[in-house]
Structure 1
Amino acid sequence: MSLGDEHGSRGEDSGYGGSGQTRTRYPDSAGDVYGGARRGGRSSYRSLITVVGVVVLLIAAIAFANRGGGDSGSSDGGEERADAAPTAASGKQPVETKAGGIPSGFAQDEQGAESAAANYAVALGSTNMFKKDSRHEIVDTIYTSAAASKLQGPMDKAYSAGFLSRLGLDADGNPPKGSTFVSRTIPVGTKVEEYSNTSAKVAVWYMGLIGMSGEVSTDPVSPTWKTWTFNLQWSNGDWKITSDSQKDGPAPVPGDDTAATSDEISKAIEEYGGFTYAR
């Protein structure tokens, strides 16, 4: 949904929606948050089993393909197998610098654009987007200056005290004492749809986690699957977002996992940190 589409359908915001400059998704209900945490219906934790199964199979396949043997081919054969897999690691090191806590200094090539898009999706899907100061820092860091200047005001309006309250947060974006608010974006893969030395269009397929973990929560943490497409521009030595849009899916068939308790989810969120994503 573009900025113009969403705000064109909401009378109080329609004035900004006609700018046509930057496309993004704003929250407009208790189940709709920036960065892909919107749920078009409650998803089951069972969908996570598919991801685990795919990862296990992938690891096994890689281990089998890379087994050494007396009659095995040269190292060139291994490179050919890696090139044939669209999600194979490039072997390049991830970035070592950060701006505002977000990875920066991506390479000016397709892999750099993919890494930038994946890391930007993570930042935009984080709980920091629900707090004004950190949200402003994120937007100023990963969008072009022109795009950021147009987004800040409408975003502040979208993340209103009323909207935050519907999510169980206070006006500053904090959860109730004893509860943990969860909002995470976990990229599964990236795809370059268009590329030049100065611009790129990259799609990020990801799973999002959203909800409140706590004994009195009425909105438990659950997953959602989305594809987030970023239009990037090479600006001041790094990739920056000029516009972005999202669509639902593709979502795997739900599995049969047993849902964790709120305490287990809260503990996992506190103990397991995120990643820096590199192609």
Structure 2
Amino acid sequence: MSLGGDGGYGGDYDYDGHDDGRTRGTASGGHLTRTRLPEGDEDPYGPPRRGPGRAVKPSRNLITVIGVVVLLLAAIAFVNRGGQSDGGSSDADSGGTNADAQPTAPTGTRPVTGKNGTTGIASGFPKSQQGAQSAAANYAVALGSEGMYKTARRHAIVNAIYAPGVAATRLKELDKALSGNKILTNAGLDSNGNPPDGMTFVSRTNPVGTKVSKFGDGTARIAVWHSLLFGLAGEGSKTPVTESWYTDTFELKWVEGDWKVTQYAQKAGPTPVGRDQAASSAEDMANAVQGFGGFTYAR
């Protein structure tokens, strides 16, 4: 019951015929006695009351959040298109060269069609700039791997990625460089390329970018900028794993349906400034190398 207000309990009240759905009036001697019904009662003659399940207008904060998400998704979709229109042609596929660096973006073209059964190195690269860049990046990984320090594995790698007639000459150079065991000794390996017991040998190339300086007539010159992890991981290692930076330049030739190396050169850098990060333990480094596999690199 109402305890206050202009239409107070028992006071004079001029009834205007309005019923708010929660009161009932009874005229008596020019007066109207108003009885307020409890909240749980419903006047069958009044307008329907809104239940607790009525629609709630979305808050302004919710609308703002939804708007931000929509804009973010639109931005991601635009970036993934690689900045090209649907009807545009890629410079990488047209055979032209571009002095500006092009970001790696999905093209819808598979980077490779298979892999070499002996070495596992990717093979069957497309005859395009992107195919040549993918080949060079994967060949840089192979030439910087641990397998290059074992004779049988080294021969398999070189024969897989070098052009016929060039592979034999390259193998003689590599075998001569490793025959004196100076390189193996400096790496902490024995004459067969094996690390000491309890140690893990690490030699892993990680490409971060490629650049085309020449392309056409079935040949290409591709530079691959990469970092290299190298050393022995394990307690008491005298050659702990370190990081260095190089640029490998490949002269490639289209031979029998794939890109093959005809010349190879390497130079140091560009080298970024190292961050102030604490080095991981020998055990953590060994576990990381054994637990994290490599990639097939695609442009």
Change (3 A) 1:67 1:168: same
TM-score of the two chains, using structure 1 as the length reference: 0.71
Q: Report deviation, 1:90.
A: 3.6
Indicate whether 1:79 and 2:46 are aligned.
no
Query: Unpaired runs of 5+ in structure 2?
Result: 1-68, 91-99
Amino acid at match of 1:274: G
TM-score by length of 2: 0.66
| Correspondence for 1:109 | 128
1:121-171 deviation digits (Å, cap 9, x = unpaired) = 000000000000010000000001111111112211211234312321111
Please tell me whether the aligned partners of residues 82 and 105 of structure 2 are also in contact (alpha carbons under 8 angstroms).
Answer: no
Q: Please report how far the alpha carbon of residue 93 of structure 1 lies from its aligned counterpart in structure 2 after TM superposition.
A: 2.2
Distance 2:124 2:218 in 1: 15
Q: Give the match for residue 157 of structure 1.
A: 176
1:77 to partner: Cα distance: 8.7
Maintained 8 Å contact 1:108/1:197: no
> Could you report, residue by residue, the CA deviation over 1:73-111 in whole angstroms, capped at 9, with x for unpaired residues?
8x9895359979712314222314111210000000100
Match in the other structure for 2:224: 204
More RCO (CA 8 Å, sep 6+): 1
**2:186 corresponds to which residue?**
166
Indicate the residue corresponding to 1:218 in structure 2: 238
The one-letter code matched in structure 1 to 2:260 is K
Residues 102 and 262 of structure 1: CA distance in aligned 2, closer, same or farther (over 3 Å): same
> Which residue number in structure 1 is paired with residue 251 of structure 2?
231
> Which of 89, 97, 109 is the matching residue for 2:114?
97
SS of residue matched to 2:172: helix
Residue 7 of structure 1 is matched in structure 2 by none
- Aligned counterpart in structure 2 of residue 268 of structure 1, from 288, 292, 297: 288
Matches within 5 A, 1:243-258: 243-258=263-278
**Helix, strand or coil at the partner of 1:145:** coil
CA contact (8 A) 2:250 2:261 kept: yes
Residue 177 (1) aligns with residue 197 (2): yes
- The 2-side partners of 1:166 and 1:93 are apart by 40
Equivalent residue letter for 1:124: L
Question: How many Å separate the matches in 1 of 2:145 and 2:189?
Answer: 14
Amino acid at match of 2:196: P
Q: Tell me, which stretches of 5 or more residues in structure 1 are unaligned?
A: 1-62
Q: Quote the residue 2:66 is aligned against.
A: none
Distance 1:261 1:208 in 2: 18
CA distance in 1, matches of 2:272, 2:113: 33
Alignment of 1:193 onto 2:206? no
How many percent identity over aligned positions? 46
Task: Quote the offset at 1:272 in angstroms.
Answer: 0.2
- How far apart are the structure 1 equivalents of 2:101 and 2:184? 42
CA distance in 2, matches of 1:136, 1:226: 23
Aligned residue pair count = 214
| SS of alignment partner, residue 227 of structure 1 | strand
- Partners of 1:218 and 1:135 lie apart in 2 by 25
Out of 62, 67, 72, the position equivalent to 2:73 is 67
Change (3 A) 1:235 1:85: closer
Q: Secondary structure in 2 aligned to 1:146?
A: coil
Partners of 2:249 and 2:72 lie apart in 1 by 33
Residue type at the aligned position of 1:126: S
Structure 1 moving runs of 4+ over 6 Å: 63-66, 81-85
Q: Distance in 1 between matches of 2:257 and 2:167?
A: 17
Greater helix share, 1 or 2? 1
Structure 1 stretch displaced more, 75-84 or 141-150: 75-84
Identify which of 111, 124, 135 aligns with 2:154: 135
